[in-house]
Structure 1
Amino acid sequence: MKETRFLKYKGQVKIWYDQEADFLEVIFSEKPGFMRETDDDSIMERIDEAGNIIGFSVMNVSHFSPKHQGLR
């Protein structure tokens, strides 16, 4: 059974996108953490020592758009 977590966050969310590299990073917290693989090779989770998700990154983010997938 896959665990689902909901994040309650009070503060700023930082978003960084590099168009040339087609890379997106979203950070919920500046806590120390490390990257963890997900089921999708393009997506990594940033987690803290307790296992809480504190951000994520997406490589080749444009491939997730409906236009790229032929849906528009």
Structure 2
Amino acid sequence: MTEADRLAQKRYYMIVGVNLVATAGAVLGLLIAGRSNNWEGSILGGAILLSALYLMAVVPRAMARRWRTPEQP
């Protein structure tokens, strides 16, 4: 395995790790919102859920775009 392959593998695992953390955050937000007895807890859970969904949608794409191989002329 070449050095470029190892680097690509590490980057792939980092993107997958970000998705896993975001998924865990979304589940945590759902749990907080679902078990809350007052509106403050529901708002907190919803905010965590929305931020986790944003993280899931935006950050992996930005990482992939940043690490894209430049085109050869």
TM over 0.5: no
Rg (Cα) greater in structure: 2
Q: Scaled by the length of structure 1, what TM-score is found?
A: 0.26
More helix by percentage: 2
Structure with more relative contact order (C-alpha pairs < 8 Å, separation 6 or more): 2
More strand by percentage: 1
Q: Scaled by the length of structure 2, what TM-score is found?
A: 0.26
